[in-house]
Amino acid sequence: MRQDVLNLTPYKPSKAVCEIKLDANENPYEIPNEVKQRIEKRIKNEKLNFYCDASCDELRGQLSIYTGLKPEQIFVGSGGDEIISDLIFAFAGPGRDVIIPVPSFGSYETFARISGANVIKVPLLLEEANGNFSWDLDVAGIKRYFRSDIPQLMFLCYPNNPTGDYFDEQKMFDLIDSFNGIIVIDEAYFEFGGKTFSDRLSDYPNIVIVRTFSKAFCIAGLRVGYALGHEDVIEQFYKVKLPYNVNTYSQIAATEILKNIEWVKKTTVGLIESRDKLVNELKKLDGITVYPSSTNFLLCKLKKSRDYVYEQLLDRGILTRRLNGENLDNTLRFNVGTPEQNDKLLMAFKQIL
Amino acid sequence: MRQDVLNLTPYKPSKAVCEIKLDANENPYEIPNEVKQRIEKRIKNEKLNFYCDASCDELRGQLSIYTGLKPEQIFVGSGGDEIISDLIFAFAGPGRDVIIPVPSFGSYETFARISGANVIKVPLLLEEANGNFSWDLDVAGIKRYFRSDIPQLMFLCYPNNPTGDYFDEQKMFDLIDSFNGIIVIDEAYFEFGGKTFSDRLSDYPNIVIVRTFSKAFCIAGLRVGYALGHEDVIEQFYKVKLPYNVNTYSQIAATEILKNIEWVKKTTVGLIESRDKLVNELKKLDGITVYPSSTNFLLCKLKKSRDYVYEQLLDRGILTRRLNGENLDNTLRFNVGTPEQNDKLLMAFKQIL
């Protein structure tokens, strides 16, 4: 057993029984029945005894329409997680650096360690101005690690999970313009904030964008994600991925949802409104600091012990998430639910805080 | 880009249009309609907006019944491919050896190279006695590479793909008994031959068995495979796998097929009979040597150019596979189809050879 792998903590999500599940940044809405029926109709005619399409041609075609990029600039994987691990195995590995501003999505570090790469974590700066907080990039702190003698890979989660908001755009460009390696911009929550680097790919062939169907597209259970980038970079995915990485059902489901993009957009607008309303209501409470969010979730800092608040919420049937890491002590993360769920959460917070 | 990864050839399966697809060792039969309906009924009630079960509890429960092992001894992955890559990332990697008797399943070498491990390939011995051929382990040749100063991982594909048959059992034990590292026994084709090491796991805590739902279980398109082993070894999978590795639909489908195991057994018996009949008929032809098979496919050596035969078969709508590697020159591999497909294949061979 590899010692560095032995030291890793297995990712085992909570299986707590709850009425309202807000711990995994999932979408509270199911895809519409008419789309589900169309998927079922198609799957009836699929020969599941044959392997799935190894290059997801139909789905890449639909994604090409959605993103405005060529199919050759798009790679489809089994969730954003596979995109991240594929990138690390292709571009990182032993003797190479992986630079991660933290706290951020845990998979970057996990797969960097599995690949044998050197992990460099640079804490975000938590700034306050007039009672408004922001988590932003420590540009000078990160640049200190830039070097040209060994290959480096850098992850920028935009907007950032678990802190919830975008980094300053100028700071992003400052880092991007002075970095030699591959820059991964994780846009898993793109649809909830609208900012993207996908229109800058022609200027920056070393940027790879990660997207997912697990958030705005409502199919976390089906594992579909994709990468956008220069076609020479995208081609490398095919060398490191599992030969048949996205199963037939999930390819069809993602394709059919893209054909109903208006429903996705409408649902997303609704969630954004719910989020902003929830933020405003939470801000009225004492004992809780709500960090700004351009995602479908909120990170909050509590005055009372977070374990106490977590357990009290769970007693009321509401599952949230306690994350550990830089500056995350006594914080809770929870995603935006349906208006009814948000009301219940708000009521619970009022009672508990 | 890592130079060792840059040198890898991407796996891009043939997309040739054909009437009879025999190139990927798929099962020609679809799962029964009643099972498909039961899957559809269950998926209707699943909330696909939530992540899938990260530890596949229900499916491991069914597999526990099927294999007679404890759920803790079973890990479920996205096809046998994921099991293989997970094992390599957990136990191989830089500074470690991966020993592979070749020719064998290509993923062992691919993922070993991606992990940065040292790949040791030892050619199988192709032996002939009274016109009967067998591909067997070069025990002395393999043992020459055994060492105790660095960790080693060894793959034994049993029965072996692409050669088709089991290695001699005594030779297997000879290797296993003198090896210190983890031994992966790939039983992807177990159901077509019946031999297994799953009843020897208590004697050998360093054996991990790989199985798949892509062959006898008829759902290659859904990507489900599993590992059997000592629970301390199985636990390591959770540290290197993708967090949510098997999607909801595939977990349900595999579970429902296991509940209909009698249909799988009946179909498998039929395929074995078809295989043996096809072997007998092919042996009557000139210009083709059929190697023995305990799988659902046959490897054959041709007198005429294999490219010519391959193209002639494709002209008749039949897709087969040309593999490259040790002793595989001028061989073709094709899986057993339905009786009608096998008759057409036989007729085509008669015309072409």
**pLDDT at site A61:** 98
Residues B49-67: what's their mean pLDDT?
98
Residue of B nearest to A57 (CA): B15
Dist. CA B114–CA B129, nearest whole Å: 39
CA–CA gap between residue B194 and residue B207 (Å, rounded): 18
What percentage of chain A reaches a pLDDT higher than 90? Answer: 93
A131 — pLDDT class (breaks 50, 70, 90):
confident
Residue A280, CB-side half-sphere exposure with 13 Å CA sphere: 6
- What pLDDT is attached to residue B222? 98
Chain A and chain B share a number of CB contacts under 8 A equal to 203
Average pLDDT, chain B: 96
Instruction: Report, as an integer, the average pLDDT of A239-258.
Output: 97
Q: Mean pLDDT across the stretch A86-102?
A: 96
Q: What is the pLDDT of residue A229?
A: 98
Nearest-CA distance from B65 to chain A in Å?
23
Q: How far is B248 from chain A (nearest CA, A)?
A: 5
Chain A CB within 8 Å of residue B10 CB: yes
- pLDDT for residue A325: 87
Could you give the dihedral angle defined by the CA atoms of residues A329, A11, A228 and A246, in that order, rounded to the nearest 10 degrees? Answer: -160
Look over chain A and give the mean of its residue pLDDT values, rounded to a whole number. Answer: 96
Q: Are B187 and B172 in contact (CB under 8 A)?
A: no
Mutate to test the interface with A, among B6, B20, B48, B97 (most CBs of A within 10 A): B48
Question: Are A50 and B242 an interchain contact pair (Cβ–Cβ within 8 Å)?
Answer: no
Q: Using CB atoms and an 8 Å cut-off, which of residues 126-185 of chain A contact chain B?
A: 151
Say yes or no for a CB contact (<8 Å) between A220 and B48: yes
Q: What value does the mean pLDDT take over residues B28-51?
A: 97
When scoring B3, B23, B108, B239 by the number of chain A Cβ atoms within 10 A, the one with the most, hence best to mutate, is: B239
3-class SS of residue A212: strand
- Chain position carrying tokens 């951020």: A104
On whether any CB of chain A is under 8 Å from the CB of B347, the answer is no
Structure tokens at B282: 């092919």
A344 confidence band (pLDDT: 50, 70, 90): very high
Residue among B27, B52, B94 minimizing CB distance to A49: B27
Degrees to nearest 5, angle at CA B247 with B244 and B248: 120
Q: Scanning the structure block, which residue is given the tokens 């979408």?
A: A27
What is the residue whose two structure tokens read 């991007």?
A: A176
Could you tell me the CATH superfamily of domain B11-30+262-352? Aspartate Aminotransferase, domain 1 (3.90.1150.10)
Residue B1, pLDDT score: 79
- Helices marked H in A139-260 — which ranges? 139-143, 169-177, 231-240, 248-258
Q: Which pTM does this prediction carry? A: 0.97
Residue B183 has phi, psi (to 5 degrees) of -110, 120
- The whole-number pLDDT of residue B102 equals 98
Least CA distance to A6: which residue of chain B? B236
Q: Are B226 and B74 in contact (CB under 8 A)?
A: yes
Interval B284-330: pLDDT, tens: 999 999 999 999 999 999 999 999 999 999 999 999 999 998 889 99
**Interface residue A93 vs chain B (CB under 8 A):** yes
How would CATH label the architecture of A33-259?
3-Layer(aba) Sandwich (3.40)
Contact A29 B49 (CB under 8 A): yes
Q: Tell whether the model's pLDDT for residue A4 goes beyond 90.
A: no
Q: What is the pLDDT of residue A112?
A: 96
- Answer whether residue A295 shows pLDDT above 90: yes
**Looking at beta carbons, which pairs linking B326-330 to residues 24 or more positions away fall under 8 Å?**
B326/B102, B326/B103, B326/B121, B326/B123, B326/B124, B327/B103, B327/B123, B327/B124, B327/B126, B327/B135, B328/B103, B328/B162, B330/B301, B330/B302, B330/B305, B330/B306
Can you give the residue ranges of every domain in chain A?
12-30+262-352, 33-259
Of B12, B21, B78, the CB nearest to A242: B78
Displacement of CA A152 from its chain's centroid (Å): 21
pLDDT band at B12 (very low <50, low <70, confident <90, very high): confident
- Segment A271-279 shows an average pLDDT of 98
The pLDDT of B162-170, averaged and rounded, is 98
pLDDT in the model for residue A3: 85
**CB atoms A85 and B242 under 8 Å:** yes
Q: Has residue A86 got a pLDDT over 90?
A: yes
Q: Would you state the pLDDT for residue B292?
A: 97
- Residues of chain A with Cβ-Cβ distance to B254 below 8 Å are none
CB A98 within 8 A of CB A92: yes
Which of A1, A221, A249 is opposite residue B222, by nearest beta carbon?
A: A249
What ipTM, to 2 d.p.? Answer: 0.97
- The C-alpha atoms of residue B217 and residue B191 are separated, in whole angstroms, by 9
Reading the block at residue A254, the tokens are 């993602």
Whether B49 and A27 have beta carbons less than 8 Å apart is answered as yes
d(CA B79, CA B84): 9
Mean local confidence (pLDDT), A306-319: 98
Average pLDDT over residues B63-91: 97
pLDDT at B41 over 90: yes
Does A254 have pLDDT greater than 90? yes
A32 exposed, middle or buried (CB, 10 Å; 0-12, 13-18, 19+)?
middle
CATH code, B34-259: 3.40.640.10
Q: Which residues contact B210 (CB under 8 A, 6 or more apart)?
A: B80, B83, B84, B87, B184, B185, B186, B187, B188, B225, B226, B227
User: Could you tell me which CATH number the domain at A12-30+262-352 has?
Assistant: 3.90.1150.10
A290 vs B11 pLDDT, higher one? A290
**Residues forming beta bridges with residue A352, ordered by sequence position:** none
Core vs surface per residue B37-58: b (16+ CB within 10 A) or e: ebbbeebeebbbbbbbbbbbee
Does the pLDDT at position A190 exceed 90? yes
**Topology alike, domains A12-30+262-352 and A33-259:** no
Percent of chain B with pLDDT over 90: 93
